[in-house]
Amino acid sequence: MNRTTIIIGTLMCALSVALGAFGAHAIAEQVSPARLNTWHTASRYLMTHGLGLLGLALLAKTYAVSVKHSAILLMAGTGLFSAALLLLVLFDLPWLGAIAPIGGVLIIIGWLSAALTFFKRL
C-alpha cells in the first residue's frame, strides 16, 4: 500500500500545481473572485493532502505500521472534496457544494485513523 500511497500522493501534488495554474491563467477572467477562491481551495487541499500522504507513507515504513485504511480515507476524501469544488466552479452546480463536506468528513476520519494507528504503535 505504501507504493500506491506514494504514487497517488505525488500525482495529487502534480494535479494541484496544474489546477492552480489553470485557475490562475485560464479561468480567472471567466469566474467570480469567490468561485476562483473555491477553485484554489480545491487545489490547495490536493497539495496539502498529497504531501500528507507522502509523509504518512514514510512514517508507516519507519514505524512498520499499516496505514492502508487511513490512506484510502484520505485519498477518497480529498478526491471527493476537491472534485466537488472544481466541478462546482466549472459547471456552476450549487448542489455540489453539499457534496464537498462529505469529502471533508472522510479526510478528518482518515487523519484520526492515522493518529489512532500511531497511538497504538508508539
How do residues 25-80 score in pLDDT, each as one tens digit?
A: 999 999 999 999 999 999 999 999 999 999 999 999 999 999 999 999 999 999 99
| Alpha-carbon distance values, 7 to 4, 57, 75 (Å) | 5, 10, 11
So what's the pLDDT on residue 1?
76
| Alpha-carbon distance values, 26 to 18, 56, 105 (Å) | 11, 33, 30
Note down the domain range covering 91.
2-121
Exposure on the CB side of residue 1, measured as CA atoms within 13 A: 17
Residues 108, 113, 119: CA angle, nearest 5 degrees: 125
Question: If you search the block for the grid coordinates 485557475, which residue do you land on?
Answer: 23
Query: Does the reported pTM lie above 0.85?
Result: yes
With a cut of 90, say whether residue 121 has pLDDT above it.
Answer: no
Q: Which three cell numbers stand for residue 87?
A: 466541478
- Counted domains in the chain: 1
